Amino acid sequence: MSRSFSSIGRAGAALLLLVAALWMGAAVGETSIPLEVVARTVANRLWGAGYPLDPIDEGIVWNYRLSRAVVAACCGAALALSGAVLQALLRNPLADPYILGISAGASTGAVGVAILGLGSGLLTLPAGAFLGAVLAFALVSLLAAKAGRGRSAIILAGVAGSQLFNALTSFIVTKAANAEQARGIMFWLLGNLSGIRWPDVSLALPAAVLGLGVCLWHARALDAFTFGADSAASLGIPVRRTYVVLVGASAMMTAAMVSIVGSIGFVGLVIPHAARMLVGVRHGVLLPAAALIGAVFMIVADVLSRILIAGQVLPIGVITALIGAPAFAFLLGQRRAQA
């Protein structure tokens, strides 16, 4: 009884935190908009509350900032989930979609569809990104299997895979895109939330929610990987199926986010570790915690990218790396101290 109450309490607190972050994300920016105007805008748009508001403020909040904050939240949650799942499945604390080349593969796939017109109109941009992501992970896994059993093999293979797919992306862009396209794509590749509108939410939100659902469904299976795949198998987990479903979910989430905002590093790597320090290693709690922290972190990172340099928007990948790299160094130190 107390157990279920505390979990309901925690879920409520988490939801409140997320709402607060979204609220702040919509209020803060180059022109600061009061929190109550944000609240009234939401009330007007969702329930037709009819508050009299400055249409410019209302437009900024609804059309630009709120959709952007929601996509940022989805993106942070999805990347953090992908990282947590990959770290558990591969039993490697360095695993994350960016380092393993999944993001780079998704970029190549998206660029292939957008510029080369691969799939001759049958493939949408996100579908192309998904194919690229899956292809990249398959290639990296194959390379790692050839390189041997060591723990670092998959990471080294991922580094090689990232380089390869980034090179392919650059090649495609240089060869086939015009100057304006090329500039836009390079900006997008660094991670960019500038062009986000509500239609993007209709891809980001289902991808993040579906991903969270699939991962949570397998929370106990992920726990069972604590002592490795053979141990999971002897605990009754169908290892191959679990692996395919969860890697597929990670690739799907990563691809959806890459196709909307470009590839963003460090979120998938650092956030799961932070979540583990806060709530422990059980995936039933760890996964929602990582998703929440990732979501809030991304909203904050996006706000920082807009206000850090007046009149300029930094690529969000720059912010996540500036925060993520030192945070990662700190976590590595902690791990070492406790080992």
**Distance from C-alpha of 228 to C-alpha of 222, rounded to nearest angstrom:** 10
Q: Is there binding between residue 282 and another protein (CB under 8 A)?
A: yes
272 vs 294, beta carbon nearer another protein = 272
**Distance from C-alpha of 170 to C-alpha of 98, rounded to nearest angstrom:** 17
Which residues, 6+ apart, have CB-to-CB distance to 319 below 8 Å? 301, 302, 304, 305, 308
CB 84 within 8 A of CB 286: yes
**Distance from C-alpha of 25 to C-alpha of 20, rounded to nearest angstrom:** 8
Q: Which stretch binds another protein (CB under 8 A): 14-22, 107-115, 155-163, 236-244?
A: 236-244
Q: Is there binding between residue 170 and another protein (CB under 8 A)?
A: no
**Distance from C-alpha of 45 to C-alpha of 63, rounded to nearest angstrom:** 11
User: Among 10, 45, 91, 176, which residue interacts with another protein (rule: CB under 8 A)?
Assistant: 91
**Identity at 33, one-letter amino acid code:** I
Q: Which stretch binds another protein (CB under 8 A): 63-71, 111-119, 260-268, 277-285?
A: 277-285
How many other C-beta atoms can be found within 10 angstroms of the C-beta atom of residue 152? 13
Q: Which stretch binds another protein (CB under 8 A): 138-146, 244-252, 278-286, 290-298?
A: 278-286
User: Among 156, 160, 220, 331, which residue interacts with another protein (rule: CB under 8 A)?
Assistant: 220
Q: Is there binding between residue 14 and another protein (CB under 8 A)?
A: no
The minimum distance between CB 336 and another protein, in angstroms, equals: 12
Q: Is there binding between residue 238 and another protein (CB under 8 A)?
A: yes
Q: Which stretch binds another protein (CB under 8 A): 8-16, 116-124, 159-167, 224-232?
A: 224-232
45 vs 282, beta carbon nearer another protein = 282
156 vs 216, beta carbon nearer another protein = 216
User: Among 236, 310, 311, 337, which residue interacts with another protein (rule: CB under 8 A)?
Assistant: 236
Which residues, 6+ apart, have CB-to-CB distance to 99 below 8 Å? 155, 158, 159, 162, 265, 269
Q: Which stretch binds another protein (CB under 8 A): 39-47, 66-74, 126-134, 222-230?
A: 222-230
CB 172 within 8 A of CB 41: no
**Distance from C-alpha of 111 to C-alpha of 170, rounded to nearest angstrom:** 9
Q: Is there binding between residue 7 and another protein (CB under 8 A)?
A: no
Which pair of structure tokens corresponds to residue 258?
């890459």
User: Among 138, 184, 226, 304, which residue interacts with another protein (rule: CB under 8 A)?
Assistant: 226
User: Among 61, 111, 237, 298, which residue interacts with another protein (rule: CB under 8 A)?
Assistant: 237
Q: Is there binding between residue 339 and another protein (CB under 8 A)?
A: yes
Rg (CA), the chain: 20
Q: Which stretch binds another protein (CB under 8 A): 9-17, 28-36, 61-69, 276-284?
A: 276-284
CB 191 within 8 A of CB 262: yes
Which residues, 6+ apart, have CB-to-CB distance to 18 below 8 Å? 73, 292, 295, 296
- Contact residues for another protein (CB under 8 A)? 91, 93, 217, 220-221, 223-224, 226-228, 230-231, 233-239, 276, 280-282, 338-339
